[in-house]
Structure 1
Amino acid sequence: MGDIPLSWLFGTLAVLLLVSGFFSAAETSMMALNRYRLRHLVREGRTSAMLAQKLLDRTDRLLGVILLGNNLINAASAVLVTQIAIRLFGDGEMTLAIATGAVTFFILVFAEITPKVIGATYPEALALPAAFVLTPMLRVFYPIVWFVNLFVQALLTIMFIKPRDEEEHQHLSLEELRTLVLEGGKYIPKKHHSILLNLFELEDMTVDDTMTPRGHIESIDLSDDIDDIRMKVATAHHTRLMVYDGSLDKVEGILHVRKFLNASRHEELDKDGIRAILREPYFIPEGTGLLDQLQNFQERLRHIAIVVDEYGEVLGLVTLQDILEEIVGEFTSQSPVAGRLYSKEPDGTVIADGACPLRVLNRKAGFDFPLDGPKTLNGLLLEKLEDIPEPGTKVNIAGHDAEILQVQNRMVKVVKILPIKPEEAAEAEAA
């Protein structure tokens, strides 16, 4: 090696460091590669993605061939730097120290840290082209890699470590998926982003969160005069109505307005005629998950379910549309139930019924009331005050000033909720 010009030695060293840097960048980029993005590229038929996927399916072999090449190159670089140091400074202990320091510096800066930072920053841009080089290298050096991995596997066995399958630890939990959607919001259309987030929230919701409360169910009482019943059907806001006899807990069935009108074409229906065209009521217990109920609606081919408590008393009514609106948003802005539950004044003040669900106020009126406790505005106020309030009582709930306007039967009946002032909103954001 003493006959080789010094310039050639420096050139060879630069090439070796460049090749070592390639192995370092390939290792980091392969490990940092987004597996779901890679699978998408595989489904699109990208050859480089297919090769990278095959390499990553056996990480031990991939790391084996990368580290084999990297360590051979680094060892050759160390020998070469030593020879250059001897040519420049002569033989001696100081020369060896200089050579050791120099080779460590060159390898760290040019062959390890810099390439790995680049590989971590641009994993896809480096890993996919690198697969074309690493795949034939693995075939050529497979016997050596296999032999080395025998000792690796034996050592892992002694340490009671079992490598996990690549597919096994790539599954995402719901919370991880939720985080992906939140982080990728700017890449997803706003409407789609909202639907995906609503789907995740549906997992933690029950029918209690979205049902129409007992007192706001549009229904027909068979004990009423038949003319009043016909008028209620003719002016109904819904196509399906709950029918009861005397008490809301004595549900007779569900009346489809279209059936009533068709039957009335031939002759005026009496109460027995109405009973004859009723569909059997479908009862569900309180606390039923919304996703489970959505599936139940699909399996039973039903659109309406009556929510009852443990004593069989009617608590409310939930429809297929209620659940779908939790996912995709409101189908219509004209909701007679919502109109009875709250009204919004021009200055932003909201006059709400105490039975109005907090989720309705959050979604339709733009509030941010907590949903992990009481379900209604009345429940939230009673929990806050720990007493039955008097009309005129003022209280701050979730940052909103509210005034209780009416109390009836030990329940808050009507509440006025004031909007947050702009300066208060700015202070909240700054905090």
Structure 2
Amino acid sequence: MIGTHWLWVGLAALVIEGVLHALEFALRDLSRSTLQQVAAARRGPQGLARVERLLSDLSGHANALALIRIPLMATVCVASIRWFAGMRGADQLQWIDLGLGALIGVALLWHFGVILGDRIAFMVGERLVFACGGPLHAWYLATRPLTILTSFWGEVVRRLAGASESVEVEQIEADLRSVVDEGESAGRIDETERDMIEAVVEFRTTTVEQIMTPRIDVEALEYTDDLEAVKIYVRNAGHSRIPVFRENLDHICGVLYAKDLLHWMTDHPDDAFVLSEILRDPLFVPETKTVRELLAELLAKKVHIAMAADEYGGTSGIVTIEDMIEEIVGEIEDEYDEEEEDRPGVDVDPEGRLAIVDARLSIRDANDELEELGLELPLSEEYDTVGGYVVTSLGRIPDGGDSLVQGTTLVTVLEADPTRVRRVRVEHANGDSASES
């Protein structure tokens, strides 16, 4: 009779533990959009309000559930031990009761609590969270002092371990990349989609300096240009927004919009043209600003172009919304863009032995192309482009024919002028030590 009593106690605790495990698993791995859709379909605004309470602190609600699950798991194990002892007819617990009874309890928890709970969470997780949202939030509030204490000790352990606050974000990014790789291997994601997802993940840390058109390649008008010079420039450049400077590019005083020029030309005689009257104020941003922050600023201010300023206040380049979009979807070309052969790129030898690389190309983009040759250029915060890598490594602006070896990669300068490197050849080196010639 006692054994049967413990059997029912254990089964009840096991069922409740399985449901709570599914609920906790769903909280830690739910789809926010699906949960909101479920809430809106069933309860409308009231349901959405309940969901928002849960979404405000998902980990806190999950921790609150753990406070119930721990004693439930202990109850299952104790009930298994007592039931096994009762089945043997033992008046007192023996070591065999403790060992086999606990083993039975753990096996039941694993199969019916963990495995079945995970399946429930996977199939109906969002609906389960919504259905239990009211009691769950009430329990969360009741146990708030304990969960705050748990969070406090977790923070203490994190600080003692020396882990940074960005570890969780980095782990999320790593998990996302892992899911993308699995999706590509299974054929559910193609290479283009993978590259776009990778670019979105990196968007958070990409800076203006990494994507801007550098100062040396910036095309601009001078403040004193007359109407004829401006029309010729706009027609030849093919840009809809053009920076205008006084004396030099460090003194950009405005931005000319091609449509503003057209509007002015339809309403005024040519001899009344004054360039300064149709300029718009330029937007200056630090070159260290992240692309994500800049995109939000451009959208808020409803502008499409910004001037990147270095730490000394000089103009280091320009960046447009198109540049930012291209970081995700790749190059966007129209009839006014340069021909493909004029764009920075990598020409791979048909035999796969070497590659000719435009020195303006970023290290990351170059490595994407060099990967198929088994070659790689080192990344560093000191430079962004292939040319920057060569100049930094040699400590000077090289001449044509100069070379350097990094690991098993040999880089030879093919073309350079007094101010920068233009083209390099990248191939496998014969030696393993770094050298310069």
Alignment TM-score, normalising by the size of structure 1: 0.67
Structure 2: gaps (5+ residues)? 43-49, 136-142, 159-165, 430-437
Farther off after superposition, 382-391 or 19-28: 19-28
SS at match of 2:412: strand
Equivalent residue, structure 1, for 2:236 = 235
Question: How far off is 1:380 after superposition?
Answer: 0.8
Q: Do the aligned partners of 1:222 and 1:229 also contact (CA within 8 Å) in 2?
A: no
Distance 1:399 1:268 in 2: 65
Distance 2:415 2:328 in 1: 34
SS at match of 1:215: helix
Question: How far off is 1:374 after superposition?
Answer: 0.7
Matched, 1:162 2:168: no
Equivalent residue, structure 2, for 1:89 = none
Distance 1:196 1:102 in 2: 55
Equivalent residue, structure 2, for 1:91 = none
Distance 1:381 1:352 in 2: 12
The one-character-per-residue Cα deviations of 1:91-110 (angstroms, maximum 9, x if unpaired) are xxxxx7xx724423432433
The one-character-per-residue Cα deviations of 1:28-63 (angstroms, maximum 9, x if unpaired) are 94587242445757553699xx9xx99967436633
Equivalent residue, structure 2, for 1:391 = 400
Matched, 1:373 2:382: yes
Distance 1:418 1:242 in 2: 36
Instruction: Give runs of aligned pairs for residues 178-189 of structure 1, distance below 5 A.
Output: 178-185=173-180, 186=182, 189=189
Question: How far off is 1:310 after superposition?
Answer: 3.5
Distance 1:279 1:365 in 2: 42
SS at match of 2:280: coil
Identity %: 18
Equivalent residue, structure 2, for 1:342 = 344
Q: Do the aligned partners of 1:20 and 1:73 also contact (CA within 8 Å) in 2?
A: no
Instruction: Find 1:177's aligned residue among 165, 172, 179.
Output: 172
Question: How far off is 1:77 after superposition?
Answer: 1.6
Matched, 1:327 2:318: no
Instruction: Find 2:94's aligned residue among 93, 100, 107.
Output: 100
Q: Do the aligned partners of 2:226 and 2:274 also contact (CA within 8 Å) in 1?
A: no
Q: Do the aligned partners of 1:30 and 1:56 also contact (CA within 8 Å) in 2?
A: no
Equivalent residue, structure 2, for 1:73 = 79
Matched residue type, 2:363: L
Kindly tell me: are residues 198 and 16 of structure 1, through their superposed partners in 2, closer, same or farther at Cα, counting changes over 3 Å? same
The one-character-per-residue Cα deviations of 1:62-105 (angstroms, maximum 9, x if unpaired) are 3377257525623532441441x69xxxxxxxxx7xx7244234
Distance 1:359 1:105 in 2: 57
Distance 1:38 1:308 in 2: 43
Distance 2:28 2:65 in 1: 17
The one-character-per-residue Cα deviations of 1:224-264 (angstroms, maximum 9, x if unpaired) are 67645432211223211122344233324211122223433
Equivalent residue, structure 1, for 2:18 = 26
Equivalent residue, structure 1, for 2:161 = none
SS at match of 2:250: strand
Q: Do the aligned partners of 1:253 and 1:281 also contact (CA within 8 Å) in 2?
A: yes
Structure 1: gaps (5+ residues)? 2-8, 87-95, 140-152, 422-431
Distance 2:272 2:383 in 1: 39
Equivalent residue, structure 1, for 2:363 = 358
Q: Do the aligned partners of 2:13 and 2:73 also contact (CA within 8 Å) in 1?
A: no
Matched residue type, 1:33: F
Q: Do the aligned partners of 1:396 and 1:402 also contact (CA within 8 Å) in 2?
A: yes
Matched residue type, 2:83: S
Distance 2:245 2:73 in 1: 77
Equivalent residue, structure 2, for 1:428 = none
Kindly tell me: are residues 357 and 184 of structure 1, through their superposed partners in 2, closer, same or farther at Cα, counting changes over 3 Å? closer
The one-character-per-residue Cα deviations of 1:9-30 (angstroms, maximum 9, x if unpaired) are 9xx6996798389469738945
Determine which structure has more spread, i.e. the larger CA radius of gyration.
Answer: 1
Matched, 1:124 2:118: yes
Number of equivalent positions: 373
Matched residue type, 1:177: I
Question: How far off is 1:312 after superposition?
Answer: 3.0
SS at match of 1:336: coil
Equivalent residue, structure 2, for 1:415 = 423
Kindly tell me: are residues 70 and 250 of structure 1, through their superposed partners in 2, closer, same or farther at Cα, counting changes over 3 Å? closer
Farther off after superposition, 276-285 or 69-78: 69-78
SS at match of 1:402: strand
SS at match of 1:230: helix
Distance 2:290 2:203 in 1: 8
Equivalent residue, structure 2, for 1:59 = 65
Q: Do the aligned partners of 1:308 and 1:315 also contact (CA within 8 Å) in 2?
A: yes
Distance 2:243 2:117 in 1: 60
Question: How far off is 1:396 after superposition?
Answer: 3.8
Distance 1:245 1:39 in 2: 54
Q: Do the aligned partners of 2:7 and 2:80 also contact (CA within 8 Å) in 1?
A: no
Alignment RMSD (CA, Å) = 4.9
Equivalent residue, structure 1, for 2:299 = 298
Q: Do the aligned partners of 1:406 and 1:412 also contact (CA within 8 Å) in 2?
A: no
Matched residue type, 1:162: L
Equivalent residue, structure 2, for 1:313 = 314
Q: Do the aligned partners of 2:212 and 2:317 also contact (CA within 8 Å) in 1?
A: yes
Farther off after superposition, 321-330 or 293-302: 321-330
Equivalent residue, structure 1, for 2:432 = none
Matched, 1:206 2:207: yes
Kindly tell me: are residues 357 and 246 of structure 1, through their superposed partners in 2, closer, same or farther at Cα, counting changes over 3 Å? farther
Matched residue type, 1:254: V
Kindly tell me: are residues 176 and 333 of structure 1, through their superposed partners in 2, closer, same or farther at Cα, counting changes over 3 Å? farther
Q: Do the aligned partners of 1:202 and 1:290 also contact (CA within 8 Å) in 2?
A: yes
Equivalent residue, structure 1, for 2:259 = 258
Kindly tell me: are residues 296 and 16 of structure 1, through their superposed partners in 2, closer, same or farther at Cα, counting changes over 3 Å? closer
Q: Do the aligned partners of 2:7 and 2:79 also contact (CA within 8 Å) in 1?
A: no
